[in-house]
Amino acid sequence: MRVAIVGSGPSGFYAAESLVKAGIEVQADLFEKLPCPFGLVRYGVAPDHQKIKSVTKIFERVAARPNVGFFGNVNVGVDISLAELRRFYDAVIFASGADSDRRLNIPGEDLPGSHTATEFVAWYNGHPEFRDRVFDLSQEVAVVIGQGNVAVDVCRMLCRTVDELKGTDIAQHALDVLAESRVREVYMIGRRGPVQAKFAQIEIKEIGEMADCTPLVAPAELELEAVSEEELRHPESAGMDRIVAILREYSANQRVQGRRRLHVLFRRSPVEIRGNGHVENIVLEKNRLEGAPLQVKAVGTGQTEALDCGLVFRSVGYRGLPLPGVPFDARAGVIPNSGGRVTEDGKIVPGVYTAGWIKRGPSGTIGTNKPDSQQTVGAIVQDLSGLTPCENPSGSSVLDLLNTRRVRVVSFGDWQRIDAAEVERGRVSGKPREKFVTPGAMLEALSAVTAR
């Protein structure tokens, strides 16, 4: 059984792990468009969350298996098509993540100074496709729309001091800009109430532990409507009471410390971003909450207020992108599937599977992808006897094809050499690594090491 896995984020690696443990004779090859593996573990997880990144050790052990291959620097859909992959593999799993973002669809969304969290996160993490983005941090007031964990990450990165960040793997270009930041007030704004906020307890606690920033929540923001009280008591809201309690501690705090303040606002939706050539303010509509517990919706009251700000970060969720020749549900931003089997017009496409964020949408932590990928691999194992075998079951033929296209395929061993060079670069400045921020620089580092 030969399986190609497109994408080497958590879902790709968990799929490879699950395949090699499935009790079948299998070769699982991961194809990754960048010369480096790990997806959002490298380019999403916040630099001040280094411990979380140690999950890569598990992925390294998967990659070390003799029947797991890594084809880095290969953009599927550009360097090799799905039809071509099918010539070499009995099954293909798309685990390509969600590279784009949801839109607010409000006037002014694209004004200079209004950015997506996706861009900002990828920029501070040194993603090659985003390293040239420009963020004008000479502004004093920044607004972050959304109250998921990504929104909290963005707020923290805007509020942390250089000292808190300089020992992390933050990209140096971002650290330099953040060092000059004049942002003093950050507003994190949610359309529903504190009980419906998506952030995790650990994340909301962390905003109270920053060196130079005080979180502020006005008491009125935490007055709960009957439905929120009811939702709080619901078994599915376990832990939410602790989040509300932490917010109440912030609200009761009379001591404002540090140069920065992080204001948490609820029940407000952005309706317009205004400014003359650059963001100057954001118009927010106050909401009331309607619906049953766990199905609460924000409904506009018609009452608006303008908040002066020079920067807006829209953190309202990621979004998958279509791949050439692969079915795509444009409304949901996912590859349509039934338990991991890709479907087109409701029919199963034989031999084509999906896992992770591109399968189920952009939600869940790293660990959530493990059972998700296991489900997909379970479907492959069930389908095994019915799959049409590929024409050319040879790994070297895939390489030959990519070589004729002048694609410099990066093996896992190559990546480990790039990795070592990054760690070495970081050592000089006391960072766990200094990332190379272009594929060219990664390949150059590789040539330099190979030449030695």
Ligand X SMILES: NC(=O)c1ccc[n+]([C@@H]2O[C@H](COP(=O)([O-])OP(=O)(O)OC[C@H]3O[C@@H](n4cnc5c(N)ncnc54)[C@H](OP(=O)(O)O)[C@@H]3O)[C@@H](O)[C@H]2O)c1
Ligand Y SMILES: Cc1cc2nc3c(=O)[nH]c(=O)nc-3n(C[C@H](O)[C@H](O)[C@H](O)COP(=O)(O)OP(=O)(O)OC[C@H]3O[C@@H](n4cnc5c(N)ncnc54)[C@H](O)[C@@H]3O)c2cc1C
Q: Could you list the residues that contact ligand Y (CB under 6 A)?
A: 6-12, 31-34, 39-40, 44-45, 49, 52, 75-77, 95-97, 121, 150, 153, 318, 323, 356-357, 364-366, 368-369
> Which of 56, 67, 100, 149 contacts ligand X by CB under 6 A?
149
Smallest gap from Cβ 146 to ligand X, in A, equals 3
Q: At what angle do helices 10-20 and 56-63 cross, to 10 degrees?
A: 40
Query: What angle, rounded to 10 degrees, do the helices at 149-159 and 117-124 form?
Result: 50
Beta pairing partners, 283: 272, 306
Would you count residue 318 as binding ligand X (CB under 6 A)?
yes
Q: What distance in Å separates the CA atoms of residue 313 and residue 317, rounded to the nearest whole number?
A: 12
* Residue 150 found at the interface with ligand X (CB under 6 A): yes
- Interface with ligand X includes 145 (CB under 6 A)? yes
Q: Pick from 138, 295, 338, 365: which binds ligand X (CB under 6 A)?
A: 365
C-alpha–C-alpha distance, residues 125 and 132, integer Å: 12
Q: Which has the closest alpha carbon to 73: 394, 358, 403, 451? A: 403
- Structure tokens of 401? 């094809």
Which of 104, 204, 282, 355 is close enough to bind ligand X by CB under 6 A?
Answer: 104
From CA 372, how far away is CA 377, in angstroms rounded? 9
- Site residue total, ligand X (CB under 6 A): 25
Minimum distance from CB of 272 to ligand Y (Å)? 26
Which among 181, 200, 443 is positioned nearest to 311, based on CA atoms? 181
Binding-site member from 144, 273, 316, 355 for ligand X (CB under 6 A) = 316
Based on the shown chain and the rule CB under 6 A, indicate whether residue 320 belongs to the binding site for ligand X. Answer: no
Residue 419 binds to ligand X (criterion: CB under 6 A): no
Q: Choose between 267 and 433: whose C-beta lies nearer to ligand Y.
A: 433
Nearer to ligand X, 12 or 351 (CB): 12
Quick check: 415 and 70 in contact, CB under 8 A? yes
In the bound state with ligand X, the residue whose beta carbon lies nearer, of 15 and 157, is 157
Positions in 247-276 near ligand X (CB under 6 A) = 269
Side-chain-side CA neighbours of residue 29 (13 Å): 25
| Tokens 């070297």 belong to residue | 396
Task: Rank residues 52 and 218 by Cβ distance to ligand Y and give the closer one.
Answer: 52
Q: Which does 32 bind (CB under 5 to 8 A by kind): ligand Y, ligand X, none?
A: ligand Y
Among 167, 364, 378, 432, binds ligand X (CB under 6 A): 364
Residue of 141, 164, 99, 158 lying closest to 317 (CA atoms)? 99
Nearest residue to ligand Y by CB is: 9
Residue 153 interacts with ligand X (CB under 6 A): yes or no:
yes
Strand partners, 31: 6, 71
Report how far apart, in Å, the C-alpha atoms of 51 and of each of 57, 325, 421 are.
11, 38, 20
Is residue 369 a contact point for ligand X (CB under 6 A)?
no
What is the C-alpha to C-alpha distance for residues 437 and 14, in angstroms, rounded to an integer?
Answer: 26
Binds 356: which of ligand Y, ligand X, none (CB < 5-8 Å by kind): ligand Y
Q: Are 399 and 73 in contact (CB under 8 A)?
A: no
In whole angstroms, the minimum distance from the beta carbon of 76 to ligand Y comes to: 4
Rule CB under 6 A: which residues touch ligand X? 104, 145-151, 153, 190-192, 196, 198, 200, 203, 269, 315-318, 362-365
